[in-house]
Amino acid sequence: MIIERAYAHAGSRDPGEWPWSVPCVRELLGDGLRFTAPVTFVVGENGSGKSTLVEALAEGFGLDPWGGSHEWRYASHRARSVLGERVRFDAAPGGRRMLASWSARQGFFLRAETALDALGREGLDPDGRSHGEGFLAAFRGKFLRPGLYVLDEPEAALSFASCLELLGHIDQLTGAGAQVICATHSPLLTALPGADIVEVGDHGMRRTSWQDLALVDHWRRYLADPGTYLRHVLR
């Protein structure tokens, strides 16, 4: 593992304004977020703050908020976030050397909505392949060395089989000493054995288990009887 705790300095802010008003951000400013496993999944409904949280962690580590590898820190036109620039880390034993200087840091930030631009900048030719194949090219070509890998809803472009391939890449990465933080809605990804799951929402942040996730329960119910859900949204 690279980091064992993330936190943020408050500074001057209006608690009623975004992002300070987001419950999980308030908790990051307070107790911070501890990491207890090489893979951490962040789950929550749309608007819960999970993408805000993982983007800030990526930026705080020195990864470009637009996405891409450590080599492109602040190379994009995307402005630095007021949260990301305040994020700090406590190093895990295996990450002390990497956190000691910006030049030593390794990793990659993959965000679904800007992935094509970022992958093109990385020389992976996203226009010459499907969206999902572009993601897989990043996993195959850039997820190689120990470092911090931050993913924001990677399942958006992936099929069932491709999600399984991603889990294989994550397993190989963490076996080599890397750490992965992934925001997701996927019950497939969150089922990775040994992964830590942090659920964000109005409560802030709390750890939970795969079988207790609301998204797992909903998918089970839907697949067993789609009509139970569809009757509420279809005429």
* Residue 127, pLDDT score: 65
56 vs 151: CA distance, rounded Å: 12
Q: What is the pLDDT of residues 113-145, one digit of tens each?
A: 777 777 777 777 766 677 788 778 788 888 888
User: What's CA 235's distance to the chain center, in Å?
Assistant: 37
* Residue 65, pLDDT score: 83
The helix/strand/coil state of 214 is helix
* Residue 167, pLDDT score: 96
The helix/strand/coil state of 62 is coil
* Residue 89, pLDDT score: 97
The b/e string for 157-183 (b: 16+ C-beta within 10 A; e otherwise) is bbeeebbeebbebbbebbeebbbbbbb
**Tokens standing for residue 211:** 């079988």
Is residue 1 within 8 Å of 80, Cβ to Cβ? no
DSSP notation for 67-79: -EEGGGTT-SSPP
* Residue 69, pLDDT score: 81
Q: What is the pLDDT of residues 37-54, one digit of tens each?
A: 999 999 999 999 999 999
36 vs 20: CA distance, rounded Å: 25
* Residue 92, pLDDT score: 96
* Residue 80, pLDDT score: 67
* Residue 49, pLDDT score: 95
* Residue 77, pLDDT score: 60
* Residue 190, pLDDT score: 98
User: What's CA 56's distance to the chain center, in Å?
Assistant: 10
What is the reported pTM?
0.93
Domain boundaries, the chain: 3-207
CATH class in words for 3-207: alpha beta
Q: What is the mean pLDDT of each run of 10 residues along the chain (235 residues)?
A: 93 83 94 97 96 94 85 62 91 94 89 77 71 80 90 92 94 95 97 98 96 96 96 90
117 to 35, 88, 110, 131, 160: CA distances (angstroms): 30, 27, 11, 11, 24
